[in-house]
């Protein structure tokens, strides 16, 4: 018993049971011998007891080994978090118990492996979805057009910075709020609602819409698209607002240009046609009158030619194919030539032409004909937009310190409204307020700017006050 007691000390209670069984068999043997065969068995009884104890110890020992293996394996699994099978060599008599346990462990291990696989897949999906969401947001936020995204309840889901600025709201704090409480633009709110409620029949449409802004309203092409879910139901609306104000303005300017140019072309053409018809019909009776008609036809043909040249010159300068002949020229000399040609026109309107010209030895390197054209356009404009009796002054000078020569044309004319000033050099642009004062194509100042800045690398500037007059000044580098 002392051996059994000593061996029973391990924690595994199953071993104790086996030990008790072995010891019980030995004890039963000795009791049986003592009761049934007192003579012979007196000798055999102790041996039988010893054998019984030996068997019992062996059984206990093997069981203990198997249980220790199983226990050890379970402890290893608990520590590592991984399921491993109990090695078969360690099973022994515990095989019956351990085999089903191994099957259970095998199944659990497979289940865990499968779940781990699924989890990895889900994590990848989640990362991809997250990346895609960031990409989509980055795209929407980088678009210069205003973008609004709403859900099926017309609540705001997303808006980019352009939309915030244009429609004057902040996305933060307004997400999931109904658009009618976020946007002040009732028409746009209605467009979003209509698109959502019409669903599939209005999957995508483009509407022109004017958004009220500080100063003038701006015109937008609003593209409204339904977002459909997997069941083919409308899950929201995307509205993209593209600013077409400038495009419309350019289109209007082109139409105006065609209209102006055709008018300008038709005027000399009308004279040419009318005088030729008069000659054909014999309406000019004297040779003197006929001569006068020929002269008119000739000057009007020149005028037509000049107009076409102006248009072509702008086009050539813009496309970079203009031929420039640079040579040292005197701005005072050019101004003098222009004044000579312009004085009859000024005289007709009783205007005073004042010249303040620097000595001709100040020279700039430039194309004479082009600079002549630029000064001529400035002087011609000054005469045209100055009422009768006004004054037009041409000043030519040099700033030796800055190494520049300048030409300044100022008038006591109508002046240009401040709103128009930034645009007067735009092609085809005409100041509406002064439109009636004189005819024009809106090309004269464009040509001046092109000649001074693009061709010669100089600078052209203007100052003006309505009712007092305007001053145009250009500067070119002096020849050293």
Partner 1 sequence: MSRKILVADDEAHILHVVSMKLRNAGYDVVTAVDGEEALELCKSECPDLVITDYQMPYMDGLELCLAMRATEATRNIPAIMLTARGFDISPADVEAAGIRAFLAKPFSPREVLRKVEELLGAPAGVV
- Smallest distance from partner 1 to CB 297, Å: 9
Tell me if 254 contacts partner 1 by CB under 8 A: no
Question: CB 403: neighbour CB atoms within 10 A?
Answer: 11
Q: Rg of the chain over CA atoms, in angstroms?
A: 52
State the DSSP H helix or E strand holding residue 41, giving kind and residue range, or none if neither.
Answer: helix 41-80
Within its chain, how far is the Cα of 320 from the centroid?
31
Between CA 132 and CA 134 the distance in angstroms is 5
Tell me if 11 contacts partner 1 by CB under 8 A: no
Is the Cβ–Cβ distance between 428 and 260 less than 8 Å?
yes
Is the Cβ–Cβ distance between 13 and 63 less than 8 Å?
no
Closest to partner 1 by CB, 178 vs 267, is 267
Tell me if 300 contacts partner 1 by CB under 8 A: yes
- Smallest distance from partner 1 to CB 387, Å: 10
Tell me if 395 contacts partner 1 by CB under 8 A: no
Closest to partner 1 by CB, 168 vs 299, is 299
- Smallest distance from partner 1 to CB 299, Å: 8
Q: Measured on CA atoms in the order 91, 92, 94, 96, is the torsion positive or negative?
A: positive
What region, left, alpha or beta, does residue 469 occupy, with left being phi > 0 and alpha being psi -120 to 50 degrees?
left
Between CA 12 and CA 34 the distance in angstroms is 34
Closest to partner 1 by CB, 232 vs 281, is 281
Tell me if 28 contacts partner 1 by CB under 8 A: no
Closest to partner 1 by CB, 171 vs 269, is 269
Closest to partner 1 by CB, 349 vs 473, is 349
Tell me if 302 contacts partner 1 by CB under 8 A: no
Tell me if 347 contacts partner 1 by CB under 8 A: no
- Smallest distance from partner 1 to CB 140, Å: 45
Closest to partner 1 by CB, 133 vs 273, is 273
Tell me if 245 contacts partner 1 by CB under 8 A: no
Three-state DSSP class for residue 443: coil
Q: What's the token pair of residue 169? A: 């709201």
Closest to partner 1 by CB, 154 vs 411, is 411
Closest to partner 1 by CB, 196 vs 430, is 430
Instruction: Give the range of 52-60, 213-221, 366-374, 432-440 binding partner 1 by CB under 8 A.
Output: 432-440
Tell me if 301 contacts partner 1 by CB under 8 A: no
Q: Which residues contact 175 (CB under 8 A, 6 or more apart)?
A: 156, 157, 158
Paired residues of 354 in beta bridges: 393
Is the Cβ–Cβ distance between 470 and 383 less than 8 Å?
no
Helices assigned H by DSSP within 81-210: 95-142, 161-167, 179-182, 186-198
Taking CB under 8 A as the rule, which mask of x and - marks residues 87-126 in contact with partner 1? ----------------------------------------
Tell me if 436 contacts partner 1 by CB under 8 A: yes
Is the Cβ–Cβ distance between 149 and 159 less than 8 Å?
yes
Three-state DSSP class for residue 303: helix
Tell me if 129 contacts partner 1 by CB under 8 A: no
Tell me if 311 contacts partner 1 by CB under 8 A: no
State the DSSP H helix or E strand holding residue 247, giving kind and residue range, or none if neither.
Answer: helix 245-280
Taking CB under 8 A as the rule, which mask of x and - marks residues 257-296 in contact with partner 1? --x--xx--xx-xxxxxxx-xx--x-x------------x
Is the Cβ–Cβ distance between 152 and 196 less than 8 Å?
yes
- Smallest distance from partner 1 to CB 414, Å: 12
Paired residues of 403 in beta bridges: none
Strand ranges in 229-277 using DSSP code E only, listed in sequence order: 234-243
With CB under 8 A as the rule, give the number of residues binding partner 1: 22
Instruction: Give the range of 255-263, 399-407, 420-428, 462-470 binding partner 1 by CB under 8 A.
Output: 255-263
- Smallest distance from partner 1 to CB 419, Å: 23
Residues that bind partner 1 (CB under 8 A): 259, 262-263, 266-267, 269-275, 277-278, 281, 283, 296, 300, 436-439
């Amino acid at each position: 018993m002392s051996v059994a007691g000593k061996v029973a000390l391990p924690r595994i209670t199953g071993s104790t049971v086996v030990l008790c069984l072995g010891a019980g068999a030995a004890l039963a043997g000795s009791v049986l011998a003592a009761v049934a065969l007192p003579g012979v068995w007196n000798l055999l009884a102790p041996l039988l007891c010893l054998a019984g104890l030996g068997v019992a110890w062996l059984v206990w020992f093997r069981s203990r080994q198997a249980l220790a293996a199983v226990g050890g394996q379970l402890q290893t699994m608990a520590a590592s978090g991984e399921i491993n099978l109990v090695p078969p060599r360690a099973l022994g008599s515990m095989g019956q118990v351990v085999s089903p346990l191994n099957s259970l462990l095998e199944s659990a291990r497979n289940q865990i492996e499968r779940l781990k696989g699924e989890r990895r897949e889900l994590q990848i999906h989640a990362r991809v979805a997250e990346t895609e969401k960031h990409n989509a947001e980055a795209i929407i936020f980088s678009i210069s057009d205003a973008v609004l995204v709403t859900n099926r309840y017309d609540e705001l889901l997303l808006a980019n910075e352009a939309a915030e600025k244009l429609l004057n709201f902040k996305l933060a704090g307004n997400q999931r709020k109904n658009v009618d409480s976020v946007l002040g633009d009732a028409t746009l709110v209605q467009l979003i609602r209509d698109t959502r409620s019409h669903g599939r029949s209005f999957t995508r449409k483009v509407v022109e819409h004017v958004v009220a802004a500080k100063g003038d309203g701006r015109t937008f092409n609003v593209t409204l698209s339904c977002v459909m879910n997997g069941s083919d139901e409308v899950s929201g609306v995307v509205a993209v607002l593209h600013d077409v104000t400038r495009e419309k303005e350019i289109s209007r300017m082109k139409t105006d240009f065609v209209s102006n140019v055709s008018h300008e072309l038709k005027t000399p053409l009308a004279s040419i046609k009318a005088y030729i018809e008069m000659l054909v019909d014999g309406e000019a009776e004297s040779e003197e009158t006929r001569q006068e008609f020929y002269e008119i036809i000739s000057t009007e043909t020149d005028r037509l030619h000049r107009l076409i040249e102006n248009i072509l010159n702008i086009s050539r300068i813009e496309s970079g194919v203009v031929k420039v002949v640079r040579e040292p020229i005197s701005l005072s000399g050019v101004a003098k030539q222009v004044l000579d040609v312009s004085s009859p026109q000024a005289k007709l309107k009783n205007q005073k032409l004042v010249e303040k010209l620097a000595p001709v030895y100040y020279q700039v390197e430039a194309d004479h004909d082009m600079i002549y054209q630029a000064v001529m356009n400035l002087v011609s404009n000054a005469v045209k937009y100055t009422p009768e009796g006004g004054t037009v002054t041409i000043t030519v000078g040099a700033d030796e310190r800055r190494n520049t020569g300048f030409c300044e044309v100022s008038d006591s004319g109508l002046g240009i409204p401040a709103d128009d000033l930034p645009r007067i050099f735009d092609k085809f642009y005409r100041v509406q307020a002064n439109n009636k004062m004189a005819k024009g194509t809106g090309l004269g100042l464009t040509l001046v700017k092109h000649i001074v800045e693009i061709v010669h690398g100089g600078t052209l500037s203007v100052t003006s006050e309505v009712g007092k007059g305007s001053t145009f000044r250009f500067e070119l580098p002096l020849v050293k």
